[in-house]
């Protein structure tokens, strides 16, 4: 039961992080007029999301994600 919950949670998290990474990339392209400090913070956010996605590529976590119904429904 708990493994199933973890599996679903991780699958939804991966989906949201991928969407967030795409949105941040678009925001960075549109952020040319922001102050340099704000651009750096936006870049840090992008790096953080990328690191989170990379962490979820762990073999054990990836196996859990692949077991989830959400993973199968979203067709990752």
Give the pLDDT score at 58.
Answer: 96
CB–CB of 11/3 below 8 Å?
no
Does the structure show a pLDDT above 80 at 4? Answer: yes
Mean pLDDT for 37-65 is 95
Give the pLDDT score at 70.
Answer: 74
Question: What does pTM read for this prediction?
Answer: 0.81
**Phi, psi dihedrals of residue 58, rounded to the nearest 5°:** -50, 140
Question: Quick one: CA torsion of 5, 6, 8, 12, rounded to 10 degrees?
Answer: 130
Cα separation values, 21 from 16, 29, 55, Å? 9, 13, 14
Q: Express as a percent the part of the chain with pLDDT over 70.
A: 93
Does the structure show a pLDDT above 60 at 64? Answer: yes
Does the structure show a pLDDT above 60 at 76? Answer: no
């Amino acid at each position: 039961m708990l493994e199933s919950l973890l599996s679903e949670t991780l699958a939804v998290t991966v989906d949201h992080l991928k969407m967030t990474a795409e949105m941040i990339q678009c925001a960075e392209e549109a952020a040319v007029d922001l102050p340099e400090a704000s651009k750096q913070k936006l870049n840090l956010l992008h790096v953080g999301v990328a690191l989170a996605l990379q962490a979820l590529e762990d073999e054990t976590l990836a196996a859990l994600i692949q077991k989830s119904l959400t993973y199968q429904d979203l067709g990752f």
